[in-house]
Amino acid sequence: MAEEQSILLLMWIASVLLLCMTGRRRVRATVLLIFIFQTLTWLLSLVLTSLSFFEFPVRELPRATAINFTFEFILFPAYSVWFHYTYPERKSTVHQIGHYVLFATIFVVFYSVMARFTSLVKLHASPFWLYLTFSSALYITRRVYLWFVREEPGKSVAGLSEKRL
């Protein structure tokens, strides 16, 4: 149990450091991305947990919810922000799809390692479902964010990877 609590603490520290690296100019974009992704992960995690695709034996709020607060509301949204800030916006479609594949693969490997070596998560379904839902959540988050920040017709959308944000 102490091992899992230490891992959760490290996840909090890593997430805070990752979010601190976004800079002052990106605070609004970061908050918006976090809220969008938290909403999606909350809904998806509740559905997948109720369908017994996975469970969280060790969690911070066991009486409030069946999902892990640190995973769904802190770590994965911070990871999503990192995904969006490194997105190859002006590159080819192959690079953009590769970006989704890379980040979804890292996510699934992380989840699988956590399931195998800790009691934080137990997978009862194929990791394919995690891959599919996480990729979809990243895509939806990106579409919703771009919808929020769209500019006048004929002008380019303010990209997340630009230094001016």
**What letter would DSSP give residue 132?**
H
Question: Does the pLDDT of residue 165 top 60, yes or no?
Answer: no
CA–CA distance from 119 to each of 8, 10, 53, 61, 151 (Å)?
Answer: 11, 15, 15, 15, 46
Q: Which of 35-39, 49-53, 133-137 has the lowest average pLDDT?
A: 49-53
Closest by alpha carbon to 79, among 26, 34, 115? 34
**What percent of the chain has pLDDT above 90?**
14
Of residues 100 and 15, more confidently modeled: 100
Compute φ and ψ for 131, nearest 5 degrees.
-60, -45
Of residues 158 and 82, more confidently modeled: 82
Question: Does the pLDDT of residue 60 top 80, yes or no?
Answer: no
pLDDT band at residue 74 using 50, 70 and 90 as cut-offs: confident
pLDDT band at residue 162 using 50, 70 and 90 as cut-offs: very low
Question: Does the pLDDT of residue 157 top 60, yes or no?
Answer: no
pLDDT at residue 59 in the model: 67
Of residues 74 and 153, more confidently modeled: 74
